[in-house]
Amino acid sequence: MNPLARLNRFLGKLPVHLAVILMCVLWIIPTLGLFVTSFRTRQAVNDSGWWTVFLPQPKAVGLPEYTQYCASCHGADGKAIPTANFSDPNLVNQFPSAASLLVMLRKPINGKPHLINPTLPSAPRDALNTLTPLISYLQTLSGQNQSTGRFTLSSYVDALVGYKGTRNYLSDCQQKVASTLVQFNCNISDLANPAGMGVAFINTILVVIPVTLFVIVFAALAAYAFAWLDFKGRQWIFALLIGLQIVPLQMSLVPIAQLYVKLGIQSSFLGIWLFHTGFGLPYAIYLIRNFIGSLPRDIFESAYLDGANHWAAFRVLALPLAMPAIASLGIFQFIWVWNDFLVAKIFLTTHPVLTVQITNLIDPRGGNWNILTGAAFLSFIIPMLVFFAFQRYFVRGLLAGSVKG
């Protein structure tokens, strides 16, 4: 293709590109807000909008004073004199107030005054006023100033290990806070902490994968019968099935819980598999029946002429041809069960799944709600991977050659 034609083609498609990109931007902005927020400190989240991280930051407090008095010897990063390294928190912590810093500055260094050019204002009050922002800047240099630290992974780390305190897991471990050391080992083994997301992750997988398989297999079988088999009451049962989609699952919780106690399967994986399968089936059958039912009649008839029976037609024709529908069903079934809270809370009390575990992490007084931001993203990775993985079934041409032109 010559360049002109290529340009022409590109321009012709420009409106499509713009529309797709515009919609993507609109759709991603709310999620982006959560994503950015998940890396911010709790203080910063309450003080300013998440988008401000993309704006130029206001100059740090004390920078002009630091540049005027200290930078020529200590360097812009405070590391120029190794014995007086301002990036070391232990050194900076020796000067908790402007007064203590003033004492240090009045002391001679190697027999010479500490500050020669410029010197501090001679009036003590003016000197202290100059030093207060300097203290704040030294704390920034040593990485201790929380409000100026822009990003942190603590929402993620806290959620992963199941930290419920009011500060964060990493700093508690560093400072050896007793209440944290009781619950945590402060090493990699904390990922398996029963209150953390690791264990809940495995429980969720153990719930979701069997349910998704059950729903797909049972629904595909039933959908084939509704579409291509003949039996009494076919239309009526199918009508009822559409109506079953509306039944709110809250109405089943109590009777089924009572039934499970009688059967002795309360809080078992079997119980939750069956419950989710039951409520996944009406929609699943409805969707797949629609897809299988709209396949052309002649492909089934010619299979029959070739000697196939229904079971063969189901496996060799209906299932492969319904793959796009089955893939989208699989995606949604997976995600609905993955994000379910209510059913798991009631029927799987001994093995908390992710959603239940996350709500367990929340301090009822609202002290650590920011943990939700990290937890929401951790919980969201797997469903997105499933969506990507199933994309390859959405391809054109499965029916190629089977339709008469």
The amino acid that residue 306 corresponds to is: D
The amino acid that residue 354 corresponds to is: L
Q: How far is the CB of 401 from other proteins (least distance, A)?
A: 9
Q: Select the residue interacting with other proteins from 242, 261, 270, 316 (CB under 8 A).
A: 242
- Binding of residue 387 to other proteins (CB under 8 A): yes
- Binding of residue 208 to other proteins (CB under 8 A): no
- Binding of residue 403 to other proteins (CB under 8 A): yes
- Binding of residue 316 to other proteins (CB under 8 A): no
Quote the distance between the C-alpha of residue 24 and its chain's center.
19
- Positions in 57-96 near other proteins (CB under 8 A): none
Matching residue, tokens 């619950």 = 183
The amino acid that residue 355 corresponds to is: T
- Positions in 344-383 near other proteins (CB under 8 A): 355, 358-359, 369, 372-373, 376-377, 379-380, 383
> Alpha-carbon Rg of the chain, whole angstroms?
32
Query: Both tokens of residue 324?
Result: 């796009």
Q: Given the rule CB under 8 A, which of 101-109, 118-126, 180-188, 303-311 is the region that contacts other proteins?
A: 303-311
- Positions in 7-46 near other proteins (CB under 8 A): 13, 16-17, 19-21, 23-24, 27-31, 33-34, 37, 45-46
* Short-list 374, 383, 377, 372, CA closest to 337: 383
Q: Select the residue interacting with other proteins from 79, 114, 167, 310 (CB under 8 A).
A: 310
- Binding of residue 337 to other proteins (CB under 8 A): no
In the DSSP assignment, the letter for residue 397 is: T
H-assigned helices in 229-353: 234-244, 250-263, 269-293, 297-305, 310-312, 319-321, 323-338, 342-347
In the DSSP assignment, the letter for residue 358 is: H
Q: Is the dihedral of CA 167, 169, 175, 181 positive or negative?
A: positive
- Positions in 212-241 near other proteins (CB under 8 A): 217-219, 221-222, 224-231, 234-235, 237-241
- Binding of residue 296 to other proteins (CB under 8 A): yes
In the DSSP assignment, the letter for residue 120 is: P
Q: How far is the CB of 100 from other proteins (least distance, A)?
A: 33
Q: How far is the CB of 402 from other proteins (least distance, A)?
A: 8
- Positions in 261-280 near other proteins (CB under 8 A): 274-275, 277-279
